[in-house]
Amino acid sequence: MTTLREYDLYWSQLENSDFILLSIYLVVSVIPFVNAIREKTSIALAMVLSLLLVMFVRFTFTLLELDFNEIHFFSLYPFIADDPTQIHRFFTSAWFHADWIHVLSNILIIGLVGVPLEQRLGSKRWIIIYSLGFLGGNLAWVASHPDSVSPAIGASGAAFGILGAYMACWPNDEIEFPLLFFIRAWPIWTIVFVRLGLEMYHIYMIQEGTSGETNIAHMAHIGGFFLAFVLARFIAKGGPSLLDSDNAYNNPTNPIDAKRIIAKRNLENLIDDPWEVAGKPLEGNAKWILWNLKEQGDELETRQAWLEELAENTICPICNGEVKLFEKDENYSLVCSINDEHLFWP
């Protein structure tokens, strides 16, 4: 029976220079998410950038002929999957890919399908779905190949998990996607029918012994898809979009109106204002502006106008700093110019 020691997979064998290389991988994989959270931008696009940066670093290390095998320590080896000290592999393996074709095929789905799914789910729910995808894929691969000594890597399970979740919740949404030699807006169910059908076909060919040699983990794709598919509707409840609802945003014929619909749906509550909460209720002209904001702020344009007026006539209730207007996806908020933790409302 193959053992962990036979493959020299112990962290204790790494030298200081190896840990420097590991830290580079960690930094480039995390930076896109830190920036996305700070700027309040798409987590799906941050994931795309993270995967690309990790692949670029790996490619650079190879060109420099650095003596470090990251796949050795981060990929998933099924034969040691039950070792508690190796549990990190279920997660880290999703960041490494065999080559540029491998990573580009995954980020094609993560970018084109994952971004609109994030708009449907919200960032936190999207991360849960993405994680279920690669975990489901890895579990399926280990279960179907328990004694394998070949390393499993890639975000394919996560990519298929995105397809599974979208299929479960909003199968009629249309996404611009390259399929059947055409790039056009396809319904999600069509994309799933083709991509999942191909996976089933390849698995059948492997079982029949007519497919030849392959290093593609088709069972991981299936596992990621179905775990996300089964749990997606439960996770999506309470999110920005109602289950099975039409989403005009994904209709390429009317993107402007669709964006406004989503922006209006995401308007925040105006009931509890931060000045009242801080024990410094507004007075005079600022109080009158705030009253109008609460009365008329259920429309995008009127909310923006009154927030602009309020920004010019009030200060931060915490530090008395200047108040600025912040915009994201046609939604506006008031932000303290010194520290947005002091004021970010609504």
Q: pLDDT for 68-113, tens place per residue?
A: 778 888 888 888 888 888 888 999 999 999 889 999 999 999 999 9
Q: Is residue 241 part of a domain?
A: yes
Picking from 225, 255, 285, the residue at the C-terminal end of a domain is: 255
Same-domain pairing of 24 and 75: yes
277 within 8 A of 294, measured Cβ to Cβ: no
**CATH number reported for the structural domain that contains residue 125 in this entry:** 1.20.1540.10
Same-domain pairing of 44 and 188: yes
Same-domain pairing of 94 and 190: yes
pLDDT at 4 (0 to 100): 46
Most confident of 172-176, 179-183, 292-296: 172-176
**What is this structure's pTM?**
0.71
Residue 263 burial (C-beta neighbours within 10 Å; 0-12, 13-18, 19+): middle
Of residues 313 and 248, the one with the higher pLDDT is 313
Q: pLDDT for 196-219, tens place per residue?
A: 888 888 777 777 665 555 667 778
Q: Is residue 260 part of a domain?
A: no
Domains identified in the chain, total number = 2
Same-domain pairing of 41 and 77: yes
Same-domain pairing of 283 and 231: no
pLDDT at 266 (0 to 100): 72
Same-domain pairing of 237 and 123: yes
Q: How far apart are CA 102 and CA 137, in angstroms?
A: 16
Q: Is residue 262 part of a domain?
A: no
pLDDT at 23 (0 to 100): 87
111 within 8 A of 102, measured Cβ to Cβ: no
Q: Does residue 346 carry a pLDDT above 90? A: no
Same-domain pairing of 37 and 121: yes
pLDDT at 282 (0 to 100): 87
Q: Is residue 239 part of a domain?
A: yes
For 268, the token pair is: 């925040």
Report the half-sphere exposure of 126 (CA within 13 A, side-chain side): 22
Same-domain pairing of 70 and 212: yes
SS3 of 157, please? helix
Parent domain of 307:
268-345
Cα–Cα distances in Å, from 111 out to 3, 125, 241, 256? 39, 16, 19, 20
